[in-house]
Structure 1
Amino acid sequence: MKTIFKNYINTFKGLSTEVWWLAFITLINRAGTMVIPFLSLYLTKNLNFTLIEVGWIMSAFGGGSVVGSWLGGKLTDKIGYYKVMVFSLIVSGFLFVALQYLTTFVSISIGVFILLMVADMFRPAMFVALSAYSKQENKVRSVTLIRLAINLGFSAGPAIGGLIIVTLSYGGLFWVDGITCILAGILLLNVLHPKKVKVADEIVVEHPKSAYQDINYIIFLFAMLLFGVAFLQYFSTVPLFYKEEFKLSEFQIGLLMGMNGFLIFVLEMPLVKSLEKSMLSKTSIVIFGAALTALSFIFLNISSWVGVLVIGMFFMTIGEMIAFPFSNAFALDRAKKGNQGEYMALYSISFSIAHIIAHNSGMHLIAKYGYEFTWHTTTVVMLVCIGILYYLKGRMLKQKDHH
């Protein structure tokens, strides 16, 4: 047991202090977005909106996320990642607090759009900062640490959020969310001020290449968009499937979803470290992760035995742990050639667009054709994603473009 623990701790060795601070600030920021999982509940229960209206508000949410990611990337290339991160954290803090005072459909739609636009400017800036703060050989593990922070934040956030709603009401939730964002911004000002920080991997590109002209990168992003559309079903339609087809309680669904976070927390870092040592290219590793994710959807249709849900969740989680850090590192590598903010913005945007498509299309498919058909369709989406990645791998080998 002691050796296992020691080996686990060793997988975190060599990461810079700056990366640790960045992970901690990201953790506060993510745990602080507790409003998000409760937004649809708040809108239907407290403000009596219809599901159609909530659907539109969630689309405004996705739209804000796309614009914010794009804007964050542009500004990062213009004024630098540090200023963008501070602005995003502190201003979104005030916007969170303000959101509770909006009550009409139009005002909330606009409010949510603006809030997400400001909040998601943080993402591309954070990735560029991450790239600057970590040495080349630690890139994938640095990304993994940030993912751990995001996952911990996502797991802790809803739990804390639920408590706050029960004790303080929804208003309290907006206040706590806002204050945590502002605190994260103040912490960032203090610990990561450019004057105090040593940059590990400074990349200055003389004639930066536009990410939009990098055909291989665009192909890669299209594959990641498809991956995102399938993967996100686990956070919208799959829980419904658990409830309706398998009659699981909220608590049991919570345990299954919790298993995802727990496995990531325990296994992701050691897994990534061992894969990093392998001679496989990043594209090959992402293909492997995508194949496991596809397999998880096949399992959902195999039998009416409840165990298939656990097996499905297990395959999806391992697939996610393999695919995301390496796809992220692939993007960071490509970004070296050009406008880093623009590259990382497009990476974020591919997932924001996946959010807009995934939940809506999943719900529509289920309503019209049922669960079995939906999971078959999702499997096909994953197979297309794998096909595109294979094509990309071959294309890059031909061009000897190893980034």
Structure 2
Amino acid sequence: MGIRPLTKARASFAATFGGLPSGFWWLWTAQLINRACGFVMPLLAFYITEELDRSAAFAGTVVAGIGVGSLVAGPFGGALGDRFGHKPTLVAALAATAASMIALAYARSPWALIVGAFVVGVTNNATRPAHNALIADVIPGKDQVRAYSLNFWAINVGYSIAMLSVGLVSLTGYTALFWLNGATTLIGAVMIATRVPGRARAAEPTEAEEAAAGGGFRTVLRDRSFVAFVAAQFLVLTILLQSESGLPIAMGQDGFSPSTYGQVAALNGIVIVAVQLPLTRLYKRFPESWVLAGSSATVGIGYAVLLLGDSAWIYGASIVVWTLGEIGNTPTSFALVARISPDHLRGRYQGLYQVAWTGSAVVAPLVGGWVIHTWGAGPLWIGCLAVALVAAGAQLGIGRRLTRRAEARDKDRDQQPETAAPAAAPDAG
């Protein structure tokens, strides 16, 4: 009885964590440290409404300022990564993020808060396309789904630690947390600069490919299937990001403290840490279009749970349900984008996909803040369910087309030598 379960556990551990290069684990560690001290983003709405005594609508506007900056940063960061290298772009963006977060702690006027949030959005989200592309640079194609899943796991382990630690605000005040967030971001930049290998710049396309596909973002924007995928993901993420806008505002109106919000919100990371890796292995048995559609519907159902009441238990149940949808959606979508991307446009594909995240970061707090301010929380949760079901239906068709392309590109990469030209340009349909 003892030997067989132990052998099985070792095999499962090796299948999950084994065989990945050290450069990935340094990236993973930097991600974990940064997220464990990532206090600014999730507490910003509380900081604006409670510490600075501003309205929920203004808090939504400030959080949306981060989203506007992020909207600019995704494509810009992706293009910089393809041109100058994903690693140098990531390190520079992390250093700028540290400085801008510390500066935001001292903003007080409405315009200073909005502009400061915008700058944080630009710098912080310029890191994301470079980080995701750098994972694909250091990890072979066959291990990329596992690598993105482990990266997502690190994000949520860190998020759970951060949420369970937000009670520190009662001891240190908000300013110290801004400084801690900035300092650990800088530590992550140093770790990546010194320990993670990276190409000086992405591989250039051949003349034939350049002539056939065009250059830069024109190629990506002509990929209609991918653009439709980004639009569907935008809808899902607008719902998912109510966790950072509508949810804390609603909990504050229901009389919950920032500490209670942090404890309940930590369930998101706890559930991911507990079940993401086995669920990821389960999801790999199904077509990616099914995983994406089912996950999107689950996110909407999770927020609809809040229609059942306003106790801490109901909020916790809601978070558990939509987290199961997040587990299926996020690693699957990032890995799919990496698989369909031509090597020389990897940063730009990740940058355009980042628009789904950053665009939703603009829309989600505006929708959450204004709907709750005008009609209350109930209509917001009903809308989350309706939009999630629409997105799920769209992803069934879009996901099938992209999965076929990803499988064809994987086959091309396996058959071609390392120095061969990148695969043909994506189709327009």
Q: TM-score range by the shorter chain?
A: 0.7 to 0.9
**What is the aligned length?**
395
Q: 2:385 aligns to what?
A: 379
- Are the counterparts in 1 of residues 167 and 259 from structure 2 also a CA contact under 8 Å? no
Q: 2:195 aligns to what?
A: 191
CA–CA distance in 1 between the matches of 2:151 and 2:116? 28
Q: 2:412 aligns to what?
A: none
Cα deviation, residue 60, structure 1: 1.6
Q: Give the match's secondary structure for 2:17.
A: coil
CA–CA distance in 1 between the matches of 2:109 and 2:252? 31
Structure 1: runs of 5 or more not aligned? none
Residues 1:382 and 1:107: Cα distance change in structure 2 (over 3 Å): same
| Stretch of structure 1 that moved more, 282-291 or 359-368 | 359-368
Q: 1:325 aligns to what?
A: 331
Q: 2:279 aligns to what?
A: 271
Residues 1:128 and 1:257: Cα distance change in structure 2 (over 3 Å): same
Residue 257 in structure 1 maps to residue 234 in structure 2: no
Cα deviation, residue 341, structure 1: 1.1
CA–CA distance in 2 between the matches of 1:396 and 1:98? 42
Residues 1:282 and 1:162: Cα distance change in structure 2 (over 3 Å): same
Q: 1:229 aligns to what?
A: 238
Q: 2:424 aligns to what?
A: none
Residues 1:30 and 1:17: Cα distance change in structure 2 (over 3 Å): same
Q: 2:427 aligns to what?
A: none
Q: 1:219 aligns to what?
A: 228
Q: 1:115 aligns to what?
A: 120
CA offsets 1:133-180 (integer angstroms, 9 cap, x no match): 1111111110111111211222222444542x3443333223222221
CA offsets 1:109-140 (integer angstroms, 9 cap, x no match): 22221232122111000011001111111111
| Stretch of structure 1 that moved more, 5-14 or 331-340 | 5-14
Residue 356 in structure 1 maps to residue 362 in structure 2: yes
Q: 1:67 aligns to what?
A: 72
Residue 171 in structure 1 maps to residue 140 in structure 2: no
What is the TM-score of this pair, normalised by structure 1? 0.86
Residues 1:8 and 1:346: Cα distance change in structure 2 (over 3 Å): same
Of the three residues 297, 306, 318, the one matched with 1:291 is 297
- Are the counterparts in 2 of residues 233 and 362 from structure 1 also a CA contact under 8 Å? yes
| Stretch of structure 1 that moved more, 171-180 or 141-150 | 171-180
Aligned ranges for residues 4-403 of structure 1 at < 5 Å? 6=10, 9-10=13-14, 11-163=16-168, 165-194=169-198, 205-206=205-206, 207=209, 209=213, 210-239=219-248, 241=250, 253-276=261-284, 278=285, 280-301=286-307, 310-336=316-342, 339-393=345-399
Residues 1:211 and 1:289: Cα distance change in structure 2 (over 3 Å): same
Residues 1:140 and 1:43: Cα distance change in structure 2 (over 3 Å): same
- Are the counterparts in 2 of residues 155 and 258 from structure 1 also a CA contact under 8 Å? yes
Q: Give the match's secondary structure for 1:14.
A: coil
Cα deviation, residue 300, structure 1: 3.7
- Are the counterparts in 2 of residues 95 and 115 from structure 1 also a CA contact under 8 Å? yes
Letter in 1 for 2:337: A
- Are the counterparts in 2 of residues 69 and 345 from structure 1 also a CA contact under 8 Å? yes
Cα deviation, residue 358, structure 1: 1.5
CA–CA distance in 2 between the matches of 1:397 and 1:122? 27
Structure 2: runs of 5 or more not aligned? 214-218, 410-429
- Are the counterparts in 1 of residues 299 and 321 from structure 2 also a CA contact under 8 Å? yes
- Are the counterparts in 2 of residues 74 and 341 from structure 1 also a CA contact under 8 Å? yes
Letter in 2 for 1:169: G
CA–CA distance in 1 between the matches of 2:243 and 2:377? 13
CA–CA distance in 1 between the matches of 2:258 and 2:176? 24
CA–CA distance in 1 between the matches of 2:309 and 2:186? 48
CA–CA distance in 2 between the matches of 1:253 and 1:93? 25
CA–CA distance in 1 between the matches of 2:315 and 2:174? 33
What is the TM-score of this pair, normalised by structure 2? 0.81
Q: Give the match's secondary structure for 1:339.
A: helix
| Stretch of structure 1 that moved more, 106-115 or 302-311 | 302-311
CA–CA distance in 2 between the matches of 1:312 and 1:266? 17
CA–CA distance in 1 between the matches of 2:104 and 2:251? 32
Q: 2:414 aligns to what?
A: none
CA–CA distance in 1 between the matches of 2:108 and 2:165? 24
- Are the counterparts in 2 of residues 12 and 269 from structure 1 also a CA contact under 8 Å? no
CA offsets 1:188-245 (integer angstroms, 9 cap, x no match): 12101448x9x9xx86643365211110000101110010112222343345556767
